[in-house]
Amino acid sequence: MGKSLFGRLFLSYTGIIFLTLVVISLVLSALFNSFYYTSKEKELVSQGQEIAGLLSASPKEPQNQEAVDLILRTLRSRSKTRIIVIDREGLNLASNEGSSPYPGLRLEPAESQGLLQGKVITWRRHNPRLNETILAAAVPFSVGEQVGGAILLFTPVADTRETITAVRRLILYAAGVAIFLALIPGYLLSRSISRPIRHMSALTLEMARGNFHQQVPITSRDEIGQLAENFNHLAIKLEQTVNTLLKEKTKNESILANLAEGVIATDRQGRVILLNPGAERVLELKQDEVLHRSLEEIKDCPSLGALFRDAMAAGEQRWGELTMTGGKLVLLARVAPLWEEKKGIYGAVGVLQDITEFKKTEQLRRDLIADVSHELRTPLTSIQGFCEALLDGVEEDRVAQEECLKMIHRESLRLNQLINELLDLARLEAGKVNWELNPIEVPDLFAGVLFKLKPQLAEKQIRVEQEITPGVPVVPGNAGRIEQVLSNLLENAIRFSPPGGVIKMQATYNENEVSISVSDQGPGIPGEELPFIWERFYRVEKSRSRALGGTGLGLAIVKQIVENHGGKVAVISRQGTGSTFSFTLPLAPS
């Protein structure tokens, strides 16, 4: 209880009241004690003066015992106070008991001197003989022109103490009742102060859990009420601030989560404190696995960790191209230090951009330029050489001239075919196609292509086997382009098949698509070359391919035509066992 505000307030309130009443009780007791003793002394003095007046008015002979006894008997009924009359020499003449009940009672010399001078003397003194404290008063009386003696009045203090003790007990009872009655308003006051604060304390815990909707009831307009009002205002403002921060946090998290680039943040020691999904995807890591670990300790990230350390050491942005995962991943990393006015540099943040495809595209562009230049240079060199021979008159024979012209014509056709195929491929890759789609019968497609390539088949004595699943449905497509695809695949099969070989053409279907394949008995393609077979100007054996008349663009055009029809291309090949090229065409929706 003493640890709570209510307990401290209640105990403090009770303690103050208790201490106040105790002090008041002690003061009242002391005042009453002093007042009572003073009143008693005045009473004794008053009685003594009354007796002294009677004695002064009696006969002048103090030895007249009968007269004195009469006066004392008269006073006896009026007071319980003991009275002794002494003459000037201090002799005991009489008392209200007939004899002195307090033998051994003596006056101090100073007191006797004061009495002789006509002064009234009072005192409290312990009588060792009687072992009792007495309250006494001595009043002088006159006989003629001088002090004839004194009346000594005294009473035991015990009777007075009993009265004072009873009064003190009454004061204590009154104080106890007052304390008890004061506990009720003290309890109510302490609770009225502590209840709003206790309520605020409970609400702070709710606010810590994210609940800002509860309010403290305002029951007064004092400081506690003002505090409750300010607390409610604080809760509203805090809720608005938290909601704003949550929106900003959600927005930042959404931005980080949807960034294509990877974002990594580290502390001053280079330990990871943030890894967004983009960075997880690029680095093939999970945030839970690398959180609070140093970048330099993470597999494949030492160079990245060194870049972060360099940026923090220099206090400025650093960037670099990093090759990771055995050369399969190329990153462009930009790292900037995190700086705060009071803390200084407390970490770094880096943006990682995967430029692997960009690098591949750059390499392909360079390869394309080199390949195109090489492909153009060969026919142009031939044309140039034969033209120079004709112009120089080297070939004067008519037959030789005709051979030169035929060679120039063949190379110009080859050059024209290369340019047309490049332009055709560029249009296909750009998606600039507007083909008219017609129903295509697969048997008719096979027949048309075989008829067109019949001379080439006959020249190499190659036999073609057809396997068409019965009931192959009609597929939508551009007949000319699909025929171009099949012709290209069949031409390649003829080109690479040995004389007298067999080529197999198949057509199957399922509920979604029709699949067409061309299989040859050629030398096959090495497994490591298969992923690149559909790229422009790619040849497995470049010298042999050129000797066979290929440009290296046919399969790239096939892939683009099929994909523009919504289909897919595929190849299965093993070196020395031939190759199977296939493509699919989707059926028209029912």
CATH code of residue 410: 1.10.287.130
At position 97, the amino acid (one-letter code) is E
Kindly tell me the burial class for residue 128, based on how many C-beta atoms sit within 10 Å of its own C-beta (0-12, 13-18, 19 or more).
Answer: exposed
CA distances from 366 to 153, 537, 552 (A): 141, 12, 16
Indicate the helix (H) or strand (E) that contains 579: strand 579-586
Residues 521, 580, single domain; the answer is yes
Residue 424 domain boundaries:
359-430
374 located within any domain: yes
pLDDT computed for residue 215 by the predictor: 77
Q: What's phi and psi for 577, nearest 5 deg?
A: -120, 10
Q: With b meaning 16 or more CB within 10 Å and e meaning fewer, what string describes 242-254?
A: eeeeeeeeeeeee
Verify that 445 and 575 share a domain, yes or no: yes
Confidence at residue 307, expressed as pLDDT on a 0 to 100 scale: 86
Q: What is the pLDDT of residue 441?
A: 92
Cα(260)–Cα(258) distance, rounded to whole angstroms? 6
Strand, coil or helix: 366: helix
Residues 482 and 334 reside in one and the same domain? no
- In Å, how far are 27, 30, 167 from 35, measured between CA atoms? 12, 8, 12
- Please give the pLDDT value at position 261: 83
Please give the tally of structural domains in the chain.
4
19 and 160: one domain? yes
Q: Is residue 188 part of a domain?
A: no
Same domain, 339 and 418: no
CA distances (Å), origin 496, targets 460, 501, 529: 11, 10, 16
Looking at 405, 430, 455, which one is the last position of a domain? Answer: 430
Q: Residues near 455 by Cβ (< 8 Å), separated by ≥ 6?
A: none
* pTM for the full predicted model: 0.43
Instruction: Judge whether 286 lies within some domain.
Output: yes
User: What's the pLDDT score for residue 149?
Assistant: 79
Task: Please give the Cα distance from 294 to 291 (Å, whole number).
Answer: 8
Cβ atoms of residues 136 and 46 within 8 Å: no
- Look up the CATH number of the domain holding residue 580: 3.30.565.10
Q: What is d(CA 427, CA 433) in angstroms, rounded to the nearest whole number?
A: 7
What is the pLDDT, as a whole number, of residue 560? 84
Do 423 and 444 belong to one domain?
no
Co-location of 405 and 264 in the same domain? no
The last residue of a domain, from among 164, 188, 218: 164
H or E element in which residue 401 lies: helix 398-429
Q: Going residue by residue through the chain (590 aa), what tens digit of pLDDT does each one get?
A: 545 656 666 677 677 777 777 787 777 777 777 777 788 888 888 878 877 776 776 545 544 456 556 666 665 555 566 777 777 765 433 333 334 444 445 677 777 777 777 888 888 776 666 566 778 888 888 877 778 778 888 777 666 667 777 777 787 777 778 777 777 777 777 777 777 777 777 777 777 777 777 777 777 777 777 777 887 888 888 888 888 888 888 887 788 777 778 888 888 888 888 888 888 887 778 877 888 888 777 766 677 888 888 888 888 888 888 877 666 778 888 899 988 877 788 889 988 888 877 777 777 677 667 666 766 776 777 777 778 777 776 556 677 777 778 778 777 877 776 677 667 666 666 666 677 888 999 999 999 999 988 988 999 999 999 999 998 999 998 888 898 889 889 988 998 899 999 999 999 998 889 999 999 988 888 887 888 788 766 665 544 444 444 556 778 888 888 888 889 999 998 888 889 999 999 998 76
Residue 305 within any structural domain of the chain: yes
**CA dist 437 to 481, 560, 588, Å?**
10, 16, 11
Using CB atoms within 10 A of its CB, is residue 215 exposed (0-12), middle (13-18) or buried (19+)? middle
| pLDDT the model gives residue 71 | 60
Burial class (CB in 10 A: 0-12, 13-18, 19+), 525: buried
Say if CB 350 and CB 264 are below 8 A apart. yes
Residue 53 in any domain: the answer is yes
Is residue 14 domain-shared with residue 158, that is, in the same domain? yes
Encoding tokens for residue 539? 């040849």
Do residues 321 and 379 share a domain? no
- Tokens 């995807």 — which residue? 281
Q: Kindly state whether residue 230 falls inside one of the protein's structural domains.
A: no
Output the CA torsion 413→417→420→426 (10° steps): -150
| Residue 138 amino acid letter | A
User: Which of these three, 398, 430, 462, is where a domain ends?
Assistant: 430
Q: Does 483 share its domain with 580?
A: yes
Q: Is 82 left (phi over 0), alpha (psi -120 to 50) or beta?
A: beta
* 19 and 134 in a common domain: yes
Residues 583, 567 contacting (CB under 8 angstroms): yes
**Are 330 and 390 found together in one domain?**
no
φ, ψ of residue 412 in degrees (nearest 5): -70, -35
pLDDT value at position 396?
Answer: 61
